[in-house]
Structure 1
Amino acid sequence: MTAELVRGQNHPLPDTRLEIRVSAGHPVLAGATLGDEGGRVPGAEWIAHPGAPSLPGVDVPGAPAADQRLSVDLGAMPGTVHRISVLLALTGHGGAARFGAVAAPFVAVAGPDGTEIATYTITGLDRESAVVALELYRRQGAWKVRAMGQGYEGGLADLLGDQGLERPADAAAAILAAAAPEAAPAAT
């Protein structure tokens, strides 16, 4: 039976290989940060995003889209990783600048066979343009998922700064640039 989570609720993860599905109804950038035991992201190389879509144990999509799929292999996570934060950000491309102006994002965690383990609809967002949707965390040798829904009005830079990343504005700018649609060819 699928657990329908509410903000702050957690649920055990019976599998180590997971697929995280995001349905936002509007293009979003999907990424993940890897945090240490204190939840701190030590450096930009600990962030999976469109410009660097693969890290040990996690693969994220290469471009913003309304429907996203992230792959996670908890068994392949380095021992120093204790928290994986799944983040969503509006890029400003396509018109929406805040989550309150679009449909509430829906996130599902599924096992290797596609069976949903836990779902979460992120409600209550308004002026935020970036959000930590879910957190996968290690506690006493076992992994769990927690519904977060923590939004940031200051966007991706504020989200990354809250996770302890040094120079979060630089990292956010690089991530958003990597997610930007390629410039259209010049007309001749």
Structure 2
Amino acid sequence: MTAELVRGQNQALAWTQLEIGVEADRALTLGAVLVGAGDTALGGAETVALPGGPGLPGVGVPGPPATSHRLAVDLDALPADTTRLDLFLTLPVDAGAPARFGAFPAPRALLVGPDGAEAARYEVTGLADETAVVAVELYRRRGAWKIRAVGQGYQGGLPALLADRGIDRESAH
């Protein structure tokens, strides 16, 4: 049975190898950032997984903008000082396409177990003028991993999202 998460809700993870999926009516970019103590990135732009970029330990390389994504995550392979993995969505720059999340139906973030079955889903609602959003986070609490439905949007796009995690806007393109 698939759990329907709402903003702020969390759920314990039964496995450390999983996939985060995304479904949307418009092509989106899926990315991830490694976060440590103090809610800041573990480093600079090198701690961000983006399409075409270098891989991160424990995180697959995201594909190009699409309406459906699957990103493999191995929580045991993340750097030891990782307290959280933020999974975010951004809108690619397309001529003539809406440049804000509020212009189309809410995207859906999916938690997929190692058996390929969908274990949880979160419809990222309540967005308006944002062009980037942290959809979900995987976080470690008292040695156990959980998923949380976040839905935090950024009107300033990816540079604003990354700056909120301590990454310089100049390196966040």
Determine if the TM-score, normalized by the shorter chain, exceeds 0.5. yes
TM-aligned CA deviation for residue 79 of structure 1? 0.5
Q: Superposition pairs for residues 67-106 of structure 1, below 5 Å?
A: 67-93=68-94, 95-106=97-108
Secondary structure at the aligned position of 2:38 is classed as: coil
Q: Do the aligned partners of 1:131 and 1:150 also contact (CA within 8 Å) in 2?
A: yes
TM-aligned CA deviation for residue 53 of structure 1? 4.9
- Corresponding residue of 2:25: 25
Q: Does 1:34 align with 2:34?
A: yes
Q: Do the aligned partners of 1:110 and 1:116 also contact (CA within 8 Å) in 2?
A: yes
1:150 to 141, 149, 152: 152
Q: Does 1:57 align with 2:58?
A: yes
TM-superposition CA deviations, 1:87-138 (whole Å, max 9, x none): 1000222512000011100011011101222110000101000000000000
- Between the aligned partners of 1:24 and 1:124, the Cα distance in structure 2 is 15
Q: RMSD value over aligned CA atoms?
A: 1.2
- Corresponding residue of 1:132: 134
Larger displacement relative to structure 2 (45-54 or 14-23): 45-54
TM-aligned CA deviation for residue 61 of structure 1? 2.2
Structure 2: tracts of 5 or more residues without a match: none
Letter in 2 for 1:155: G
- Between the aligned partners of 2:171 and 2:68, the Cα distance in structure 1 is 24
Q: Do the aligned partners of 1:60 and 1:69 also contact (CA within 8 Å) in 2?
A: no
- Between the aligned partners of 2:153 and 2:20, the Cα distance in structure 1 is 19
- Between the aligned partners of 1:171 and 1:27, the Cα distance in structure 2 is 24
Secondary structure at the aligned position of 1:26 is classed as: strand
Q: Does 1:117 align with 2:127?
A: no
- Between the aligned partners of 1:57 and 1:48, the Cα distance in structure 2 is 11
Letter in 1 for 2:46: E
- Between the aligned partners of 2:127 and 2:10, the Cα distance in structure 1 is 20
Number of residues paired by the alignment?
A: 171
- Between the aligned partners of 2:55 and 2:157, the Cα distance in structure 1 is 22
TM-score normalised according to structure 2 size: 0.94
Identical residues among aligned pairs (%): 54
- Corresponding residue of 1:11: 11
Structure 1: tracts of 5 or more residues without a match: 174-188
Secondary structure at the aligned position of 1:70 is classed as: strand
Q: Which has the larger radius of gyration?
A: 1
Residue 62 to residue 30, structure 1, CA distance change in 2 (3 Å): same
- Between the aligned partners of 1:105 and 1:138, the Cα distance in structure 2 is 25
Secondary structure at the aligned position of 2:114 is classed as: coil
Secondary structure at the aligned position of 2:171 is classed as: helix
